[in-house]
Amino acid sequence: MKLFYSTRKLVSWRQSESGSVGFVPTMGALHDGHLALMRESMQNNDFTIVSIFVNPKQFNRQEDFDNYPNTLKTDLKKLQEIGVSAVFVPTMEEVYPTEDTYKTAKPGAFAIGFEGDFRPGHFEGVVNVVDRLFYWTNPNQVYFGQKDLQQCLVISDLIKEKYKDIRFNWIPTERESDGLAMSSRNKRLSENGKHIGQQIYANLFKCAEQEGVKAALDNCRNSIVSSGIDVEYLDIIHWNDMPVEPKTGRAIVFAGYLEGVRLIDNIIL
């Protein structure tokens, strides 16, 4: 497994390889959800590049950035075991040099609402870094997790606008056996918190079965709130006309706080 800290070295290795490249961007603290993306990439490409960079520009709260888990040593061990071709761990100065001349793209309309409302600047930060990472890794295919569904829509929009040759893949959410969506942030939940957290997916699932019934969303919200979770939003998102499957899709999207930890989840209708 190649390990690159420098953009220049990564780019020169990338240029020397002629096979297909799958790319999985991450912020580390790797769990089985990330590994599922890598496995999918490894099955479908000659090379798989993983990046690990905790991007300060996408955190709208300093505290969240400061508390974001950093498990680089274990992450690298997991990546070595699974057998990815290369890991890119750039420094802050590599990604955002003091004299920054990179003309980064701006997020499209999918950045409005939901995460865009509750985390101002979040998608601008995501697109800023993903745009640079796509440019350096020059992948044929990229892999994102469905848990961050709105991010998937924002990125497939970026691809449509600026990276037409990249194939976007979104991979279903990996869950704990009780249904809690895997997330790096789960590491900050107590055992009891993890237990309560299962209420999120259990209720989204129930709500999805009563599709189209407005009261079902209200019941779902009440039930999640009464389990001790503060709901930020619980609503339906639409992605008609997007080049992702299912093409005329809708999903119930959720965000909320449990034990001070922000959790998101969704279920496709």
Rule CB under 6 A: is residue 199 a binding residue for ligand PAF?
Answer: no
Residue 234 beta carbon to ligand PAF: minimum distance, rounded to whole angstroms: 21
Rule CB under 6 A: is residue 148 a binding residue for ligand PAF?
Answer: yes
Rule CB under 6 A: is residue 129 a binding residue for ligand PAF?
Answer: yes
Picking from 252, 254, 251, 212, the residue whose alpha carbon sits closest to that of residue 229 is 254
Rule CB under 6 A: is residue 107 a binding residue for ligand PAF?
Answer: no
Catalytic residue flag (residue 195): no
Rule CB under 6 A: is residue 126 a binding residue for ligand PAF?
Answer: yes
Rule CB under 6 A: is residue 58 a binding residue for ligand PAF?
Answer: yes
Other C-beta atoms closer than 10 Å to the C-beta of 179 total 17
Rule CB under 6 A: is residue 79 a binding residue for ligand PAF?
Answer: no
Q: Which of 31, 34, 122, 238 is catalytic?
A: 34
Distance of CA 101 to the CA centre of its chain: 26
28 in Cβ contact with 55 (< 8 Å): no
Torsional sign, CA 56, 61, 64, 67: positive
Task: Out of 26, 146, 169, 199, name the contact with ligand PAF by CB under 6 A.
Answer: 26
DSSP strands (E only) in the chain: 2-4, 21-26, 47-52, 86-88, 141-145, 167-171, 230-238, 250-258, 261-268
Residue 184 beta carbon to ligand PAF: minimum distance, rounded to whole angstroms: 8
Nearer to ligand PAF, 187 or 195 (CB): 187
Instruction: Give CA–CA dist 130/158, Å, rounded.
Output: 9
Non-local (6+) Cβ contacts of 167 within 8 A are 140, 141, 142
Rule CB under 6 A: is residue 55 a binding residue for ligand PAF?
Answer: yes
Catalytic residues: 34
Could you list the residues that contact ligand PAF (CB under 6 A)?
A: 25-27, 55, 58, 126, 129-130, 148, 151
